A = this chain, B = another copy of it.
Amino acid sequence: MKISTKGRYALRVLIDLAEQQNDNFIPLKEIAARQEISEKYLENILKVLVHNNVLTGMRGKGGGYRLTKSAEELSVGSILRLTEGDLAPVTCLEHEAALCSRAENCRTLPMWKNLNVLVNRFFDNITLADLMEGLE
């Protein structure tokens, strides 16, 4: 029942980017240093975010990363689903899950489904901007 470092790092990096934001590109090196995360590991994580148009990457000298949207438009849920792959609390509910033979009269499946909805809704209702200003 854990969110991996991928998702957690991704959120931290995006917040970092949003805080530094002045419409020019910020090199990964800087972010990695500030956040104390391995550069190479971060590259892997950000790749997914670039491919899914959360970030744009600019190569070469003066290059770096930049948010494509404002922090208000980015939900935590959308980011975590990208980096974690899935937020389903049980394998039975994963996107490409082989349907279980017991599913029809499984006494626990409805509960997992309810939790799945609850968790996704929770994350969908939080934006990067919310995190930045500090929620309670």
Residues of chain A at the chain B interface (Cβ within 8 Å): 1-3, 8, 11-12, 15, 76, 84, 86-91, 107-108, 110-112, 114-115, 118-119, 122, 126, 131-132, 134-136
Contacts and interface: CB of A to CB of B under 8 A. Distances in A.
Q: Is the interface of A mostly helix, strand, loop or mixed?
A: helix
Given A1-B3, A1-B84, A87-B1, A122 B131 contact: no
19 contacts: A1-B1, A1-B3, A1-B84, A1-B87, A1-B88, A1-B119, A2-B88, A2-B89, A2-B90, A2-B91, A3-B112, A107-B131, A110-B134, A110-B135, A111-B126, A114-B135, A115-B119, A115-B122, A119-B119
Nearest to A131: B107
Contact of A89 (B3, B114, B131, B134): B3
A110 B136 contact: yes
Contacts of A15: 107-108
